[in-house]
């Protein structure tokens, strides 16, 4: 039974492609008798002709990969596209370092371990990028004997 015309008209009515038109296998004889758009609309209303759902693309794999990347996996040399500084810019690294150093310095000041003058000097040194890390700052303070003993 050739339902080519009916399928074409149904596709137009349902606003889908011809491949997405579903025709009830039990009602093929009735549908094949339909020759007008009105007949097709009637069968759509009756539920003998329907539009099949679009086939989607599963995001399950993408979610799994994302969760692994959050754990730090899949980030080796073969997976990298940008340069070192495109992936973690110099400025961001600087901001993180400076904030950590200033926080440590503030703690020392609040605990009364630093005199105001040495605090200001160290603060300016941090701004001038003198220290590599918190450990470097702590060792410098220790070496210079800037910590006030109570």
Q: Does the reported pTM lie above 0.75?
A: no
- The model's pLDDT over 44-100, given as tens digits with 9 standing for 90+, comes to 999 999 999 998 999 999 999 999 999 999 999 999 999 999 999 999 999 999 999
Q: Is residue 114 part of a domain?
A: yes
pLDDT band at residue 150 under the 50/70/90 scheme: low
Contact assessment for residue 4 and residue 34, using Cβ atoms and an 8 Å cutoff: no
| CATH number of domain containing 38 | 1.10.1650.10
The predicted structure's pLDDT at residue 1: 72
Q: How many structural domains are present in the chain?
A: 2
| CATH number of domain containing 107 | 1.10.1200.60
- The model's pLDDT over 27-48, given as tens digits with 9 standing for 90+, comes to 999 999 999 999 999 999 999 9
Q: Is residue 60 part of a domain?
A: no
Give the range of the structural domain holding residue 98, as residue numbers without chain letter: 89-144
- Which single residue is written with the structure tokens 């500084």? 85
Q: Is residue 79 part of a domain?
A: no
The predicted structure's pLDDT at residue 147: 87
């Amino acid at each position: 039974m050739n339902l080519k015309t009916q399928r074409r008209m149904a596709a137009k009515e349902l606003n889908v492609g011809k491949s997405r038109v579903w025709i009830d296998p039990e009602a093929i004889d009735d549908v094949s008798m339909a020759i007008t758009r009105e007949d097709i609309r009637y069968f759509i209303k009756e539920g003998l002709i329907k539009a099949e759902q679009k086939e989607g693309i599963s995001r399950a794999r993408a979610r799994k990969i994302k969760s692994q990347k959050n754990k730090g996996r899949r980030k080796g040399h073969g997976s990298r596209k940008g340069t070192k500084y495109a992936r973690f810019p110099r400025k961001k690294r600087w901001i993180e370092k400076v904030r950590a150093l200033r926080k440590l310095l503030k703690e020392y000041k609040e605990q009364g371990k630093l005199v105001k003058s040495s605090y200001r000097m160290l603060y300016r040194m941090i701004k001038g990028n003198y220290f590599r890390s918190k450990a470097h700052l702590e060792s410098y303070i220790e070496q210079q004997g800037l910590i006030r003993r109570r």
